Amino acid sequence: MKERIVYVCDRCGYEAPKWFGRCPACGAWNSAVEVKRVEKRGKSSPSSLTQLSRVNLEADDRIETKNKVIDSILGGGFVRGQVILLGGEPGIGKSTLALQIADRLVRVGRKVLYASGEESAKQIKLRAARIGASGEIFLTNDQDIDSVLRSSRDVDFLVIDSIQTFLDSEVGSVPGGMAQLRSVTSKVVEFSKRNSTVSLIIGHITKSGEIAGPKMIEHMVDTVLYFEGERTTDYRLLRVYKNRFGPSGEVGIFEMREDGLFGIENPVFVGDDLPFGNAVACVMEGSHPLIVQVQALVSRSKVPSPRRNSIGVEHRRVSAIIATMSKILKLPLDFHDVYVKVLGGLKVTDPAVDLAISAAVFSSLVEMEIGRTVFMGEVGLDGMVRSPYSLKRRIEVIRKSGFDEIAGNFEGANVLIRNLSDLSGVIR
Ligand code: TYD
Ligand code: MG
């Protein structure tokens, strides 16, 4: 083993073999932090080879958490040595979920250590009481990562809450910086692999979207989960962004109740009142049809190039829809600012949301309300509307949720919208 010194920018994570006064990547001054790297040296021993036919896919590689949502989105539970990053805004429910998983694992005889640099043992106990968690979970408030890992040799499941509050004493900088974040994470990863411990790393993301944070360590872990939703509402979406041991893209849906997070199937993210500028959509996220509320605000622009802004849906998608509407419906959108928002803090990825965006924009422009019609369909640049996939499941869920008017270009739609120009027939 050989030690090597590298310099890491504490703001953006840029790494160089030599000290730098100003970071060439992000331009920060005096942000270089000295970090020790240990490298293997000398002749390495030959690799051991395995024949493909002998690779074991037996189920015992999986550690079920018995939390239905977690097991299902992770493809059957954890895998020994797996490192999972759980990210989300403060107050969204990260610690609650971690403690609930910890509780399930303790109850099937696993040893669990909950390492918290955020909260005292008393605070954790209060949360545990709320969700009825087992008293067999071990706690530590030690923020030194080496000591925590030294105490974790016989631990099956390790929670690090949050990664930003832990410290590697070999790195000469404050907690929360990029150098610490990377170093602490790499120690946890290395430990988990060597010790076959499953580690759940909690990471804060801030509303302001600072560069610092979980994004920087995504590539180091096996699995990345992010919470979506708003603290002010009860629904939480947990999305799999990356998973080395299973499919990504799946989502789990929870409701935050008095006594913890509970899995639910098809939540309706729609309010009772739908004034003009609102439209309802049914979108598939992972394998769940979700009924969501899309809002648009169209107002006369006071600047030469009008503003386009979107929350919860891709910006480019909205721009393309606005341009198509201007052209096909001959609407004066070039003179209007357009803001689009998906309610409930959700990030919609399903293109079938297009038609609801178009309807909401139209409704806001002409100031006429639409009502509780559910829109589904991707809108092409020619204004043609496409039928969404998994149509049967969607319609089933829409009906079950108490909506009966469905609009789109498919058989079974109450309101047939083949082309954007048909929209004017719906909104009158
Ligand atoms: P928490 O898990 O502490 O969020 P994070 O770790 O992401 O910052 O949970 C935050 C909120 O959830 C807090 O405002 C209290 C609420 N809560 C419930 O509504 N029910 C519960 O059972 C628990 C434990 C928390
Ligand atoms: Mg927390």
Q: What is the mean pLDDT of residues 294-309?
A: 95
Q: Which atom of ligand 1 is nearest to the CA of 202?
A: 6
For residue 233, the model assigns a pLDDT of 81
* 131 Cβ below 6 A of ligand 1: yes
**What's the mean pLDDT in 220-231?**
92
For the domain spanning 268-425, the CATH number is 3.30.230.10
Segment 344-378, tens digit of pLDDT: 889 999 999 999 999 999 999 999 999 999 999 99
pLDDT tens-digit readout, 182-191: 999 999 999 9
**94: Cβ below 6 Å to ligand 1?**
yes
For residue range 90-133, list pLDDT tens digits in order: 999 999 999 999 999 999 999 999 999 999 999 999 999 999 99
- Specify the CATH number of the domain 61-263: 3.40.50.300
pLDDT number for residue 348: 96
Give me ligand 2 centre to Cα 177, in Å: 19
pLDDT at res. 135:
87
Q: CA of 270: how far to CAs of 3, 367, 416, in Å?
A: 57, 20, 22
pLDDT band at 314 (very low <50, low <70, confident <90, very high): very high
Query: Which are the contacts of 64, defined by CB distance < 8 A and separation ≥ 6?
Result: 71, 76, 77, 108
**For ligand 1, atom 23: residue with the closest CA:** 260
pLDDT the model gives residue 207: 63
91 lines ligand 1 (CB under 6 A): yes
C-beta 260 within 6 A of ligand 1: yes
Specify the pLDDT at position 42: 61
Sequence-ordered list of residues with C-beta below 8 angstroms from that of 52, at least 6 positions apart, any chain: none
Domain ranges of the chain: 2-39, 61-263, 268-425
Q: Is the pLDDT of residue 60 over 60?
A: no
Mutation pick for ligand 1 pocket among 94, 125, 127, 256 (CB with most ligand atoms within 8 Å) = 256
Q: What is the rounded average pLDDT for all residues in the chain?
A: 92
What's the mean pLDDT in 267-280?
92
pLDDT at site 206: 72
Angle between helices 121-131 and 94-107 (to 10 degrees): 70
Helices vs. strands in the chain: H and E counts, helices first: 9, 24
Whether the pLDDT of residue 192 is over 80: the answer is: yes
Whether the pLDDT of residue 237 is over 60: the answer is yes
Average confidence (pLDDT) over 285-314: 95
Q: Is the pLDDT of residue 13 over 90?
A: no
Share of the chain above pLDDT 70, in %: 96
Taking the C-alpha atoms of residue 338 and residue 303, their distance in angstroms, rounded to an integer, is 12
DSSP letters for 23-79: -TTT--BS-EEEEEEEE--SPPPPPPP--GGG----GGGEE----HHHHHHTTSSEE
DSSP H helical ranges for 339-390: 354-366
pLDDT in tens, 39-54: 666 667 787 887 888 7
- 364 alpha carbon – ligand 2 mean position (Å): 39
Residues ≥6 apart with Cβ < 8 Å to 427: 359, 362, 363, 366, 368, 370
User: What is the bridge-based pairing of β-strands 223-229 and 198-204?
Assistant: unpaired
Residue by residue, what is the 3-state secondary structure of 382-405? Answer: CCEEECCCCHHHHHHHHHHCCCCC
> What pLDDT, on a 0 to 100 scale, did the predictor assign at position 45?
76
For residue 203 and ligand 1, the question of a CB distance below 6 A is answered with: no
pTM, 2 dp: 0.87
